Amino acid sequence: MIYRVALEADKHWGAMKMEDQYRSSFILKQFLAEFPIDLYIYLGDFFDTKLLLNSKSSVYAIRDFTEKIEICRARGIPCRAIKGTRSHDYDQWEVFDNFMSNKAYNFRYFKTASIEETLPGFTIWY
């Protein structure tokens, strides 16, 4: 079986002008919304450094990922994310724990090396 997987990595929220980072996600969101995708995986370093939750970078980062995961939920696309380097992501992915606890989102976040049959007959080592 052939699967179509959308991969994204190294957004580094907090390192650049957040409005530009947010706008740069438009193409991927459009891609997720319009093309036949079987799986979306974020490959780490979503954040660049520890961010205050009420900072503009945090607000834009949370909005950006929430929009992507909502598109995936609406289209039935499983979402996965992998913890990035310690000097970047820290434990800030916890802001998305509500998606992991809600089965409608089919979202999992991997903090350590893991193996999962993510799609039928498609096993990934995260």
pLDDT digits (tens, 9 = 90+) for 47-69: 877 777 788 888 999 999 999 99
Q: How much is the pLDDT for 71?
A: 98
Model-level pTM?
Answer: 0.89
Q: How confident is the model at residue 102 (pLDDT cuts 50, 70, 90)?
A: very high
pLDDT digits (tens, 9 = 90+) for 4-29: 999 999 988 888 888 888 888 999 99
pLDDT digits (tens, 9 = 90+) for 80-99: 999 887 777 667 777 788 88
Q: How much is the pLDDT for 6?
A: 96
Question: Are residues 126 and 110 in contact, defined by beta-carbon separation less than 8 angstroms?
Answer: yes
Q: How much is the pLDDT for 53?
A: 78
Query: How many residues would you count in the chain?
Result: 126
Question: Are residues 47 and 14 in contact, defined by beta-carbon separation less than 8 angstroms?
Answer: yes
| DSSP single-letter state for residue 13 | B
| DSSP single-letter state for residue 93 | G
Q: Beta-strand (E) ranges in the chain? A: 5-8, 39-42, 79-82, 107-110, 115-119, 122-125
> String of b and e for 1-26 (b: at least 16 CB within 10 Å)?
eeeebbebeebbbbeeebeebbeebe
Categorise residue 76: left if φ over 0, alpha if ψ from -120 to 50, beta otherwise.
left
Chain centroid to Cα 30, Å, comes to: 15
